Structure 1
């Protein structure tokens, strides 16, 4: 069994490697979130990642890798599952209002328990299909949620006119980039270097095109 001290060392090493700055107490809250996720996962199978050390790297550090690209005062995390990347991003920036969206009831029950136990006053969770969610957000995140076309078709209405959409992908999604829906464009593609995580990681930064700015 990996000790909390060992997990903390792994987490702090990952954060240092990313070069991101977190508020006081964030590491403890991230470790509390991982512990809660591990407990619930034993019963409810919320994630295929079961090893605590892998959870630190492949869930927490991986989520924090996009922190430098998050902007605005509000964020919606679509297809969040057990809160990834939304909960780590909420812990990293408690001033930002964050909505976690998932259609799976047991995952949303976990999210609400995590929000309560971690005292995440800036976060709320809804059980809903993405296309039925209302409101608009400065930033939208999606991690292994769907193809670029599908996620924009289902959730594009949620992005403010000057907002930023951050799609987390593994391999470079050439086929998906060739099938973008009208009204949106790729602003940047970043290769992410995530410590202790094998394989490719890419962040696709999307935005509305100029002719859609009034939508």
Structure 2
């Protein structure tokens, strides 16, 4: 239990540093998600990050850093892997319909187990290539998924007319900007400061022209 207490303290400090107010049950549920991910990771290698404290920083807080920019009642998370940022956002800001998309069967099996065991309402997982996913969404998230050109070429059809696309990047991807396809525009670039993470993080906000 001491280990979980330490992770909880780290997570709560990070949430405070990000200036976020989360629902009361969010922190324990995020820790339940982390414990499930750690357990499955031992068998299925879902993420290269092994240390739970590092998972708090690199997975939970990194995902939570974009929460202030998320909008609308529907969200699709492309190349979600083990649910990053999609599951974290579902726990931190419940109430929207969220679709988690990944082409990897092991990861989608984990996602379905996480949705079931964490009782995440309105969240579903789909094993699919991005270009084969149907529907339109108010918000599209993609974390370290592909170049801007590729992600919009494959998934641009998923963005609702007034929706926003949140592309999570490490270094500011200036060299990718000329590749943004016609019909889309970069609305804003934000430098994110993830508590405990020395690496650069940037969020690009894109929309339809």
TM-score of the two chains, using structure 2 as the length reference: 0.99
> What does 1:63-212 align with in structure 2 at a 5 Å threshold?
63-209=63-209
> 1:21: Cα distance to partner?
1.3
Aligned with 2:134: secondary structure?
coil
Whether contact under 8 Å (1:71, 1:139) holds in the other structure is yes
Q: How many angstroms apart in 1 are the aligned matches of 2:93 and 2:14? A: 18
> What does 1:19-34 align with in structure 2 at a 5 Å threshold?
19-34=19-34
Stretches of structure 1 lacking an aligned partner (at least 5 in a row): 210-215
> 1:92: Cα distance to partner?
1.1
Q: How many angstroms apart in 2 are the aligned matches of 1:103 and 1:175? A: 27
Which digits, 9 at most, give the CA deviation of each residue in 1:69-110, with x for residues without a partner?
000000000000000000010001111110000000000000
> 1:178: Cα distance to partner?
1.8
> 1:2: Cα distance to partner?
7.1
Whether contact under 8 Å (1:18, 1:65) holds in the other structure is yes
Q: How many residues align?
A: 209
Whether contact under 8 Å (1:2, 1:53) holds in the other structure is no
Q: How many angstroms apart in 1 are the aligned matches of 2:67 and 2:24? A: 16
TM-score of the two chains, using structure 1 as the length reference: 0.96
1:18 corresponds to 2:24: no
Aligned with 1:126: secondary structure?
strand
Aligned with 1:60: secondary structure?
helix
Q: 4+ residue runs of structure 1 moved beyond 6 angstroms? A: none
Whether contact under 8 Å (1:2, 1:52) holds in the other structure is no
Which digits, 9 at most, give the CA deviation of each residue in 1:30-82, with x for residues without a partner?
00000000000000000000000000010000000000000000000000000
Which digits, 9 at most, give the CA deviation of each residue in 1:140-163, with x for residues without a partner?
000000000000000000000000
Look up the match of 1:213. none
Q: How many angstroms apart in 2 are the aligned matches of 1:75 and 1:140? A: 6
Look up the match of 2:58. 58
Q: How many angstroms apart in 2 are the aligned matches of 1:98 and 1:2? A: 33
Aligned with 2:179: secondary structure?
coil
Q: How many angstroms apart in 2 are the aligned matches of 1:20 and 1:75? A: 20
